[in-house]
């Protein structure tokens, strides 16, 4: 019995060490070079629907589909909220007329995001740092989240 417990602990430790934890860091970006980098406070206000103007520019947010794991991790990294909590926040803001919820994409691939940004000159998007294309205007980078 003692040997099987030790074997189980040993195997668990091997798996834990061999499986690198995936930490994600997200980049908030735009194709519009007129939008300057954002402070943490500005970024949080934007994604909570407290403002839709940045530096005098009326901006529009795009969001990943609900099924995207990156959507949940992004909101946890930035605001400490899950998608359900964000849906409630945006519903309140939309109902009160203070803000319009982000446009939700059907696909979470980079091509879909860039296509939307090309059609929305004041659009702002987010992606994991490893998926961000070159030559975009980086506005903010979140902390890493497991």
Q: Give the pLDDT band of residue 19 (cuts 50, 70, 90).
A: very low
Predicted pLDDT at 15: 40
Q: Would you call 71 exposed, middle or buried from its count of C-beta atoms within 10 A (0-12, 13-18, 19+)?
A: buried
- If phi > 0 it is left, if psi is from -120 to 50 it is alpha, else beta; for residue 46 that is alpha
- Domain borders along the chain are 26-141
Q: How confident is the model at residue 65 (pLDDT cuts 50, 70, 90)?
A: very high
CATH number of 26-141: 3.40.190.10
Q: What is the pLDDT of residues 105-118, one digit of tens each?
A: 999 899 999 999 99
Neighbours of 88 (CB within 10 A): 11
pTM for this model (two decimals): 0.82
């Amino acid at each position: 019995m003692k040997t099987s417990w030790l074997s189980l602990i040993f195997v668990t430790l091997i798996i834990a060490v061999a499986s690198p934890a995936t930490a994600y860091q997200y980049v908030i970006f735009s194709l519009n070079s007129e939008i300057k980098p954002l402070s943490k406070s500005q970024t949080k206000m934007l994604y909570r629907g407290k403002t839709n103007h940045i530096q005098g520019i009326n901006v529009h947010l795009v969001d990943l589909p609900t099924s995207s794991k990156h959507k949940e991790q992004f909101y946890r990294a930035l605001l400490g909220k899950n998608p359900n909590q964000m849906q409630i926040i945006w519903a309140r803001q939309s109902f009160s007329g203070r803000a319009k919820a982000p446009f939700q994409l059907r696909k979470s691939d980079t091509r879909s995001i860039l296509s939307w940004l090309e059609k929305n000159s004041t659009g702002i998007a987010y992606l994991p740092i490893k998926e961000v294309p070159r030559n975009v205007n980086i506005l903010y980078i979140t902390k890493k989240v497991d």
